[in-house]
Structure 1
Amino acid sequence: MDLDLGQVRAFVVTAEELHFGRAAARLGISQQGLSKRVARLEAALGVRLLERDARGVGLTGAGERFLEPARRVLVLGERAVAAVRETERPLRIDVWGHLYAPMRTLAQAVDAAPGLEVEPVPGRDLPSVAAALLRGESDAGFGRVHALPDGADAGLTHRLVRLEPVDALLSVNHPLAGRDALSPAELRGSVLRYPAAVDRLDFLTRFATRFGITGRVGSTNLGLEHFVDQVAADPSCFSLVPADSPLPDRPGVRTVPLTDPTPLYAWSLLWRIDRNVEQDGQLDCLLRAFTAEAARSRWLEYDPARDWLPDADEAALQPRTDEATLQP
């Protein structure tokens, strides 16, 4: 049978929203028009894809099986249109981890790839970026990648592109603020302040567990300036920031390098497994730019006798079978 992409899109958006009104608004059509498209698709397939009752909208078993292939069909349809028009839209990259200034690294790689057009879009966090990638709404993601619960990252792959040393961020009134350098173990008596909810920041949690830091407190993410002010006001706490990340000009805080070992923050590029990198000129170009910049700026240097990485990040450094295809 021939699939009508308009009907497929109507189903996918409704499946994501689980609400006909919100789905219709997102598509810019009437709710009645949306219902007709979904009904025609169900009639053509000969199965019910959505359940509609007083409790709302839900997926049937057939709908759950159809959803992911349907998303892929829409992505391929967009690429087919772009190919026949001989135009290429900018590579959409969802970026997260904004308090750690990921745009610095992304910009450095993009600047090394003349002609590459990207559209950086702020992402809330890794789970939301992963969901957008799987829905085909983004081409790639950039930030720190870690395993998501319940297989929410199934269908995605990533490439580690930079390891960045982190410093301790301290109030000037912290007992250790006068030191020229600190080892992570010396921070055990301090409270690790998270710039967001504790359960959302995997790297800080792994750091605290590894170095025996039991005091942990979350914050509301109201931006870097607000967070720095919180650290300045509490001499019992500390946090971690990239060593060369620009901080707001705020009195009352200082950064101290961490050594023995030096913790490294891992930045990765994330994309869908079913996206053929070799045939995707933009994504391939960006990966090559990252590879070249990593070699020039020594972004991937790691010595386990000197540095510390969470286990999953260390494993991501291992050579890959397709490494040769990414050499500049």
Structure 2
Amino acid sequence: MDLDTVRTFVAAAEAGQFQEAAAELAVTQQAVSKRIAALERDLGVRLFNRTPRGAELTIDGQAFLPHARELLRVAERAVSSVRTGRRPLRVDVLASRSAPSGLMRGFHRAHPEIELDVVWLFDVETAVAAVRSGEIDASFRAVAMPGRPLPEDIESVRVLDEPLQLLTGPAHVLAGARSVPLAQLAGHRIWMPGIVPGTEWAAYYDDLVAEFGLTIEATGPNFGSDALLDTVADTPALATFMSEQTRLVWPAGHGLRRIPVTDPTPVYPHSLLWHRDNPHPALATLRAHLATTADGHDAAGTWTPGWVIR
């Protein structure tokens, strides 16, 4: 059903005259008559009785009017759902407990008036494709992986360097250390079942292993953070890397220790990705907010892989 004819019908019904409806719609009276006639043909009923005083709704016209108004309201809601600045800003944060999720919580506290849709996309290819298609407005990723440069229409800015710490159980040999040099971890078993080949975090840890001779094990199913913490707490031979910004809670009886890693401190780099032609006004607000909260990158005494965009 043509919405222009429906809009013309509603205008004529409310004005009671085709001439006034024409003036409201900025068309000729003849155009109004043609649109009403076309709508009547489509519906197979007469909607108006023409009288010397103007146009009066028939019984069928009266029955159709509330539905016509609803059609126009639905159409406006449909347009508003995708109109720039009227729909929520959609951002991928990879995981709910990740550091980017914390950044978005801070952004929401600073700008509660901006409506957000936070999503979790798994791999960088999916995230970049979603940014390019407009499915999402931005994504937090470590960029750019070896052999996978960003497309020319994708912009990025480094927003967070996330220091890694060693997490151990109470019986681990390093549990009492105030800090541990990265090279001293060679020979210790570091268990990280969430590493998936082909992901940007797998590329990160591959380079970390190659440069410092670490032993990182990704064996076994990934049952999530709770199972990881349970195993590390109960197994003296295992430790794991954990960001100091990862929001986790564990039972007091676990006795887990967070130990800073030094000389150098491995940091996981997070960048914000977006399409260069994305006009959503809240995207600019997000970028400005992140610029004010970001610390310095590539600080002395830290390590990131050579493929990370500086």
Fold similarity call, TM over 0.5: yes
In the TM superposition, what are the counterparts of 1:251-270 in structure 2 within 5 Å? 251-270=254-273
Taking a change above 3 Å as real, the CA distance of residues 154 and 231 of structure 1, as seen in their structure-2 partners, is: farther
Q: How many Å apart are 1:228 and its aligned residue?
A: 1.5
Superimposed CA distance per residue, residues 267-290 of structure 1 (whole angstroms, 9 cap, x where no aligned partner): 221112443xxx441111110011
> How far apart, CA to CA, are the structure 2 residues paired with 1:270 and 1:240?
25
Question: Are the equivalent residues in 2 in contact too, given 1:158–1:271 (CA < 8 A)?
Answer: yes
The amino acid that maps onto 1:282 is A
Shift of 1:106: 1.8
Whole-Å separation in 2 of the counterparts to 1:206 and 1:271: 26
Equivalent pairs, count: 228
**Higher RCO structure, 1 or 2 (CA under 8 Å, sep 6+):** 2
Q: TM-score when scaled to structure 2?
A: 0.64
Partner of 1:195: 193
Compared CA separation, residues 140 and 258, structure 1 to 2 (3 A): same
Asked if 1:247 is matched to 2:242, the reply is no
Residues 96 and 126, structure 1, Cα contact 8 Å, conserved in 2: no
Measured in 1, the distance between the counterparts of 2:84 and 2:246 equals 40
Residue of structure 2 aligned with 1:116, choices 99, 114, 117: 114
Assess if the C-alpha contact under 8 Å between 2:98 and 2:247 holds in 1.
no
Aligned mates of 1:151, 1:301 — CA distance in 2: 20
CA contact (8 A) 2:81 2:87 kept: no
CA RMSD after TM alignment: 2.8
- Aligned match for 1:132, one of 113, 130, 133: 130
Write out aligned runs for 1:10-89 (5 A).
81-82=79-80, 88-89=86-87
Hey, what does 1:283 align to over in structure 2? 283
Shift, 1:110, TM fit: 3.3
Provide closer, same or farther for how the CA distance between residues 231 and 245 of structure 1 changes in structure 2, counting only shifts above 3 A: same
CA distance in 1, matches of 2:304, 2:282: 30
Whether contact under 8 Å (2:159, 2:291) holds in the other structure is yes
Contact 1:175 1:235 in 2 (8 A): yes
Q: Residue in 2 aligned with 1:205?
A: 206
Larger Rg: 2
What displacement does 1:149 show?
5.1
Say which of 82, 102, 105 aligns to 1:104.
Answer: 102
**Identity level (%):** 29
Structure 1 window deviating more from structure 2 (105-114 vs 187-196): it is 105-114
TM, length-normalised to structure 1: 0.61
Deviation at 1:241, TM superposition (A): 1.2
Asked if structure 2 preserves the Cα contact closer than 8 Å seen for 1:163 and 1:301, the reply is: yes
Q: Could you tell me how far apart the structure 1 residues matched to 2:227 and 2:181 are?
A: 26
The letter of the residue matching 1:239 is: T
Q: Could you report, residue by residue, the CA deviation over 1:222-278 in whole angstroms, capped at 9, with x for unpaired residues?
A: 321122123223322322111133322141421101111112121221112443xxx
Gaps of 5+ in 2: 1-77
Q: Distance in 1 between matches of 2:98 and 2:84?
A: 37
CA deviations 1:108-147 (Å, max 9, x no partner) are 1332335322211122232332232233211111243332
CA gap of 1:85–1:178, structure 2 versus 1, over 3 A, is: closer
Change (3 A) 1:216 1:146: farther
